[in-house]
Amino acid sequence: MAASGNPSESEPEVRTAVGVLRGRREAGLAVFRGVSFAEPPVGDLRFAAPQPVRGWDGVRPAVDYGPPPPQSAVLAVSVPLDTAGSDWLTVNVWTPEPDPAFELPVMVWIPGGGYAMGNSGLPQYDAGHLAATGTVVVTLNYRLGIEGFAQIEGAPANRGLLDQVAALEWVRDNICVFGGDPERVTVFGQSAGAGSVAALLAMPRAAGLFRRAIAQSVPGTFFSPELAADLTAAFAAELGVAPTVSGLSAVAPDLLPAAGDAVFAKMGRWRKRWGRITHRPIPYAPVVDGDVLPTTPWPALAQGAARDVELLVGHTRDEHRLFSLIDGVLGQVTHEQTETALHVLAGPDGARRYREAFPTADDEELYELVNADWLFRIPSVRLADAQIAGGGRAHVYELTWTAPGMGGALGACHGLDVPLVFGNLGSGQTAMLIGDPPSPAAVELSARIRGSWTSFSAHGDPGWPAYDAGQRLTQIFDTPSTVIAYPEEVSRLLWKGFAFPALPLLAR
């Protein structure tokens, strides 16, 4: 495979394994958008594993993002430019030069969004700044919600994860014509994207498709098949159909997310059946089905499943404050709400253990701590613990820089790392967090983080020592940044005996 013919300077062309694509030049980069990596998963392919994209004759334009997959409207934080069409399974590529001779490192981004939302065409995921460092960057879409993650009778589990594997296979087979080195692929993601990265590390189907992995704020939620099937029954009941491929296929794809949103809105009704996921409503997660995903990531890594993959993993300090803002409780958490969170998330003696461990913390601080620990902080650091236990290498970080937006009320909240990694600091919702225009400190911190990510992608070295069970050295991203022992050690020890197993169905 090689660059095609004599494309114009402003309209670069590449010949992939299945056809010729024409992109465009933007700020010195060649950019190709909306490139199909699998057939549209509709019609006879609905709820099926992704199928290879068919070839085409002539030159196909690749200048517009593909349509986002059907998704939740719970947060409705952005309106995609174009939602028409069913070609949801697409990638976008930014490259300094689409020439096989360049052999540049490759970074593949998996967007987050609770496995319910996600769109690689959002402005915050424009990869121009990352690619300008001499890296080929790929962003992708995958099936979400019921389409991608519901446990459906007659369908393979974890279709969203299978989509990600298909995208990585496309990268393996085609990235060289974009100037990338298929032997130096780093997969990276945040939130549900980081949970996906963790799952990929444990999946036999993904073995050998990437050399390095970056997981930003790993959620600890993975479902047992029984819990996932019970959730699917609730989705189907909202629609008045059977929880099967034939039943759900009778519902148009764009109508399915509303059923998930309806269940999301009343998950508290099922607390005795579904447990912890009803406290911070989480209707979707990867399913430990024993086939696509044999086990949760932590035991898989501890047993050496990813010892040949270098890992960079971390979290923000104040992971939960963004959700408290969304829930309308930021700054006004009650004692009762704190006690409930401590009991539901940390167990029957959770309140006692947290209050003894943090004797000066008030109710709001404890509420934020236990939510952040259970959701993201402890699952993230435990992934590093598991990786080194299995003979692999890991680097750990924590972002502690306080976002100046809203007077600093959100602190170093969930998602703050995304604009800092991509360098898109001054537009849309990012501006609300970081300020418009961004401060010199924000620009400097973004450049530092971006440099660490791209250095790790290229060489396996983000610029600070590897993590180990003795010193637990951790990069603290702040102004200034520093390297210290893991700073959330009290929380880590509180959760020391917790294995983050696949969440069970508690009652039938």
Residue numbers annotated as active site: 191, 319, 414
Detail the DSSP E strand segments found in 288-354. Answer: 310-316
Relative orientation angle of helices 350-357 and 363-372, to the nearest 10 degrees: 110
Residue 418 CB: number of other CB atoms within 10 A?
23
Q: Tokens 């951790």 map to which residue?
A: 474
What are the structure tokens assigned to 249, written together? 């296929």
What are the structure tokens assigned to 86, written together? 């069913």
User: Half-sphere exposure (CA, 13 Å, Cβ side) for 378?
Assistant: 23
Candidates 461, 487, 486; CA nearest to 472 is 486
Q: How far is CA 358 from CA 8, 378, 465, in A?
A: 63, 16, 29
Tell me if residue 418 falls in helix, strand or coil. helix
Residue 464 CB: number of other CB atoms within 10 A?
17
What are the structure tokens assigned to 337, written together? 């709400």
| Cβ within 8 Å of residue 109, ≥6 positions away | 120, 125, 127, 137, 138, 139, 140, 188, 189, 193
What are the structure tokens assigned to 380, written together? 């993230």
- Determine contact, residues 143/163, Cβ cutoff 8 Å: yes
Rg (CA), the chain: 22
Dihedral sign of CA atoms 212, 450, 424, 315 in order: positive
415: amino acid identity, one letter = G
Burial of 507 by CB count in 10 Å (0-12 exposed, 13-18 middle, 19+ buried)? exposed
Strand partners, 104: 180
- CA distance linking residue 280 with residue 354, whole number of Å: 19
- Residues recorded for the chain: 508
- Determine contact, residues 453/446, Cβ cutoff 8 Å: no
